A = this chain, B = another copy of it.
């Protein structure tokens, strides 16, 4: 069996009952068919963790009571995990990622990496020093049409980038969600005081970088809290200056009442502009200066 054919041994931290993102990770792994989930800490309760392990086909002895134990035990096994995926709330990303990187294990971590720049830099340095992968699941860049958008920009298909409008504005927390499903996302102690900047803004920021190939050079931001008694910022408007001198706006909101997922990007170049919306992910609109609007679609239409 060649190396690229055998499955990658992966572990998971987080992902007990009701954990939506963990389930997305697991479905994604199955679609790719390149990963074998063989270890985990699926809950703070060892009993719940064991139950989830059973359900997922993870051997009982590899259902650990803590991530520290998991990192050292797996690092010691000949058939130990090669990579761990971290699907816990934000505040625990740093210690968990650090433990696995120190144990020589690659890390896939949910966004945001940390709510603290120093911690992020430390993890990045740790990974680089040891030649390990430290990956964040900015998954929207996986869409074919987002990749095509990025290729178009790189290939000069829209000319030089002048203006970028990116937003991730969802209505999921337009009412009180505290103490309910995913309520930790508005708990400053867990999700960070900046709230929506970490929660959704990171996706918008990543999408901008991925599609344009540019970095944000300067920002001027207006953070606000729309929902009464909320303790994190749930709305952020950010003016951007990009590294090539282009200007832009990033809007991240969890209080955009009535919006669905709300991720979209528009990039305006000197020759054309492009628009991608997550609600219609398999199309990319390209508008040529003085010319037609093209709607590009993913793949061919033959299968039925």
Are B235 and A222 interface neighbours, CB within 8 A?
A: no
Contact call B220/A222, Cβ cutoff below 8 A: yes
Among A99-107, A123-131, A253-261, the stretch in contact with B: A253-261
Q: Give how many copies assemble into the complex.
A: 4
Chain A: interface residue total (CB-CB under 8 A): 74
Contact between chains at A257 and B237 (CB < 8 Å): no
- Decide yes or no whether A118 CB sits under 8 A from chain B: no
Q: Is the CB of A258 within 8 A of B237?
A: no
A301 CB contact (under 8 Å) in B170, B175, B224, B303: B170
> Does B172 contact A301, Cβ atoms closer than 8 Å?
yes
CB-contact partner of A273 in B30, B200, B256, B263, under 8 A: B256
- Whether A297 is near chain B, meaning CB under 8 Å from some CB there, is yes
Q: Does A276 contact B (CB under 8 A)?
A: no
Q: When A249-B249, A292-B296, A296-B292 are in contact, do A260 and B301 touch as well, CB less than 8 Å? A: yes
A303 pairs with B21, CB closer than 8 A: yes
1/0 contact trace for A176-204 toward B, CB 8 Å? 00000110000000000000000110010
Q: Is the CB of A174 within 8 A of B270?
A: yes
Contact A235 B27 (CB under 8 A): no
Query: Is B287 a contact partner of A172 (Cβ separation < 8 A)?
Result: no
Chain B binder among A41-49, A58-66, A73-81, A161-169: A161-169
A163 lies within 8 A of B253 (CB): yes
Residues in chain A within 8 A of chain B (CB atoms): 5, 20-21, 24, 27, 30-31, 33, 55, 158-159, 162-163, 165, 168, 170-175, 181-182, 199-200, 203, 220, 222, 224, 226, 235, 237, 239, 241, 247-249, 251, 253, 255-263, 268-273, 279-280, 282, 286-297, 300-304
